[in-house]
Amino acid sequence: MKRVVKAARLLPILAAPLFLAACEGKSSQEPKLQKGTGVEAVSAANAADKGKGGMAMDTVARDYVALVLELGNHDKSYVDAYYGPVQWRAQAEQSQASPADIAKRGSALIAQLPGEGAADGSPDGLRLHYLRTQLAALVAHARSLAGESERNFAKEARELYDTEPPRQDFSSFDLLLQELNELLPGEEPLSARVQAFRQQYEIPADKLQGVFDAAIAECRLRTKQYIPLPQDENFALEYVSDKPWSGYNWYQGGAHSLIQVNRGLPITIDRAIDLGCHEGYPGHHTYNALLEQTLVKERGWVEYSVYPLFSPQSLIAEGSANYGIDLAFPGEEKTRFEMEVLYPLAGLDPQSAQKYDRVMALVDKLSFAGNEIARQYIDGEIAADQVAALFEKYTLMSPAKAKQRKDFVDAYGAYVINYNWGKKLVADYVERDTNSAEERWQRFAKLLSSPRLPSSLDW
């Protein structure tokens, strides 16, 4: 998830005990209750503050938080994290507002924002753009829940995630499939050969804890070399099953996370670093902790005390979490660390580790075929009973994993683009005009502690 290994951070590649910390921002005024609809979205204070720049944004930000929490009453997946005042959540839980009501109030809030500022990358300009864009996504999701719009993949990507991912023909993946055929020759379907090959690298259940502890420790060590982490930051790690994601980060506030790893399906050796980076360092845990420290605590921007999953912020969260793997372990460093440290801990033979990583790198590139499968499914071009078979054929998943992926698309829709397309957008931003690892880490840290969204990455 955060996702979503998020996911979500969905999410959803994605997660630490449940903590709830009160927002320590400078603006702590609580929204008032509006009779019949919960937290008041359009207040006299809004009208008085309109046109006063930062003051107007502070007021809209408070009401934005309220709307996100209220919409969470209608979609239990929507509020991925909240660590603001407990009273705000309690007020939202009492709201009787329908999704249609929330959509109207969200549109009214957008109209109260100051005019769009210059695209100069200034903090206030980025904040204004953030509020406007996140509110637009909230309105779109509320309208969808109200049954006011039909599902459409490109529309979801544009309205919820602030981007237009490319469409690709399945034939564009033929060269990747051909290379995999040559690496893993045989008579069985390629997906079966890939799965048989991967099974050799599954981490035994009794070795999972040691392998993940070592992987996460290394991810954290490499991240701390370049990014100062908040004092006392930490997370808890637990194992779950029967989930539509591989892992999830549940951020609790106060620089604490709950990271969950789904052991319902076999976990291969490469997933230890992937999940350690994606869910922890420098992924979701780092991202959320930096946003809380720099924007909520230092600037008092309360809108960052809540994280709506179906929003443009998720593309940055998932894209940065996936890119963070390559940033922390560039080139051959991931393979080298796995061979020297993780393979022995897992009791696996590292002799063919390099071949395994090559196979998995090609499989990873096929993930874009998964975007196309999701698009055709959501748009009604293919039937539900075709989806798992296509995931097996073009992304080379096992039957169980392909079914899980269909379940993920059913639950999260176009969210799938946030992992691979989001990673590409983040990579383009970080690597633009940077010539060293240190410069890339600096740009990456800047992204993680700023209000940037997909459409403001060029600012």
Residue whose C-alpha is closest to residue 164's, from 421, 420, 365: 421
| Secondary structure letter of residue 41 according to DSSP | S
Q: Supply the pLDDT for residue 197.
A: 95
Please tell me the distance from the alpha carbon of residue 126 to that of residue 140, in angstroms, as a whole number: 21
What pLDDT was estimated at residue 53? 56
Q: Which residues of the chain have pLDDT under 70?
A: 1-55, 117-118, 244
With beta carbons less than 8 A apart as the criterion, state whether 247 and 279 touch.
Answer: yes
Helices 399-412 and 384-395, packing angle to 10 deg: 120
Strand 234-240 to 256-262 pairing = parallel
Cα 358 from Cα 356, distance rounded (Å) = 5
> What is the predicted pLDDT for the residue at 118?
63
CA 210 to chain centre: 26
* 281 closest CA partner among 315, 312, 255: 255
Which pLDDT does position 262 carry in this prediction? Answer: 85
**Cα–Cα–Cα angle for 301, 456, 328, rounded to 5 degrees:** 85
Q: How far is 239 from 224, CA to CA, in rounded Å? A: 25
H or E stretch covering 236? strand 234-240
The three-state (H, E, C) secondary structure of 297-336, written as one string: HCCCCHHHHEEECCCHHHHHHHHHHHHHHHHHCCCCHHHH
Side-chain-side CA neighbours of 432 within 13 Å: the count stands at 10
Can you tell me the distance from the alpha carbon of 403 to that of 417, in angstroms, rounded to the nearest whole number?
A: 18
Residue 255: the pLDDT is 93
Burial (CB < 10 A; 0-12, 13-18, 19+), residue 444, is: buried
Q: What is the pLDDT of residue 55?
A: 67
Residues forming a β-bridge with 38: 34
Contact present, 39 and 66 (Cβ < 8 Å): yes
Q: What's the whole-model pTM score?
A: 0.85
* Measured distance CA(236)–CA(243) in Å, rounded: 18
pLDDT of residue 141: 97
